[in-house]
């Protein structure tokens, strides 16, 4: 069974095995990543975290869990450019540096093992967490509480002052949504590293995990262009054109397709 198949099978479980699925995504990029071993080794971190938690009801332990991870030196990658290793879970566990989503996935798995209620929130630009029913969100990078005003400021920071905070920004994220975001993050990071073969794996996974999406087809088309694969580029441009409703972009896509058709065949 391939890592991709193992990842998708994790989503079919009830409940989905989110953390293991994310490990199989890492294994798709790094043959040395061994998800079963990482799952077993995580018990050591679980013991360390549990030992530092206060004697409180389980519902009140989410923030202490995040603070405990911070005490154990798990932090956001803020030293230099973000790299793929900051999104690959086995590397995040090794180096204790990761993107907010990666740190959140670790926290969610530990919370699951310790019966602490916690869920992901697919907030734009910075993945967040919350205890179901709470009046605030939690930053996976240290456990800071964020109330409505904090969330509005965070949204403006990432998307600009024209964006208004709405209920859609605060919805809980299911396992598939989190894996989609992880795959898109990795796609972008691998493109930034000029590793287009790795980015192609992520782009393919994105389209397997989610419904057809204009931007995801365009992203893969650009990767195929970098890899000098006109057949793949044409396929994604055609599908992007079917999904596009903006007339100006439809014109651009049509022109790009015509230029591909006029390109000389490679022999």
- Torsion, CA 253, CA 183, CA 173, CA 35, rounded to 10: 160
Measured in residues, the chain has a length of: 267
pLDDT band for position 139 (cuts 50, 70, 90): very high
Q: Are 189 and 82 in contact (CB under 8 A)?
A: yes
Separation of alpha carbons 157 and 163, rounded Å: 10
Average pLDDT of every residue of the chain: 95
Q: What share of the chain is helix, strand, coil (3-state, %, to 5)?
A: 60, 5, 30
pLDDT tens profile 187-232: 999 999 999 999 999 999 999 999 989 999 999 999 999 999 999 9
pTM: 0.94
pLDDT band for position 80 (cuts 50, 70, 90): confident
Sign (positive or negative) of CA dihedral 174, 177, 179, 182: negative
For strands 172-173 and 97-98, give the pairing: unpaired
What percentage of the chain has pLDDT greater than the value 70?
98
pLDDT band for position 78 (cuts 50, 70, 90): confident
3-state secondary structure of 192: helix
In this predicted structure, the answer to whether residue 266 has a pLDDT above a threshold of 60 is no
């Amino acid at each position: 069974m391939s890592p991709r198949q193992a990842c998708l099978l994790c989503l079919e479980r009830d409940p989905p095995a989110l953390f293991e699925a994310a490990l199989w995504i890492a294994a798709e990029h790094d043959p040395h990543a061994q998800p079963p071993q990482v799952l077993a080794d995580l018990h050591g971190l679980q013991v360390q975290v549990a030992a530092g938690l206060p004697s409180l009801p389980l519902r009140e332990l989410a923030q202490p869990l995040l603070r405990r991870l911070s005490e154990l030196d798990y932090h956001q990658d803020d030293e230099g450019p973000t790299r793929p290793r900051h999104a690959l879970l086995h590397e995040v566990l090794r180096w204790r540096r990761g993107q907010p989503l990666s740190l959140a996935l670790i926290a969610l798995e530990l919370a699951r093992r310790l019966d602490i209620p916690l869920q992901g929130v697919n907030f734009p630009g910075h993945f967040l967490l919350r205890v179901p029913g709470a009046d605030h969100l939690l930053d996976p990078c240290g456990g800071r509480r964020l109330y409505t005003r904090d969330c509005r400021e965070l949204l403006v920071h990432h998307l600009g002052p024209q964006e208004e905070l709405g209920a859609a920004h605060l919805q809980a994220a299911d396992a598939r949504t989190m894996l989609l975001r992880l795959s898109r993050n990795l796609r972008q990071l691998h493109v930034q590293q000029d590793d287009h073969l790795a980015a192609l794996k992520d782009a393919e996974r994105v389209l397997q995990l989610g419904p057809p999406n204009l931007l995801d087809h365009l992203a893969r088309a650009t990767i195929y262009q970098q890899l000098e694969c006109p057949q793949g580029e044409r396929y994604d441009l055609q599908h992007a054109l079917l999904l596009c409703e903006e007339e100006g972009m439809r014109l651009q896509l049509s022109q790009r397709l015509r230029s591909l058709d006029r390109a000389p065949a490679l022999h």
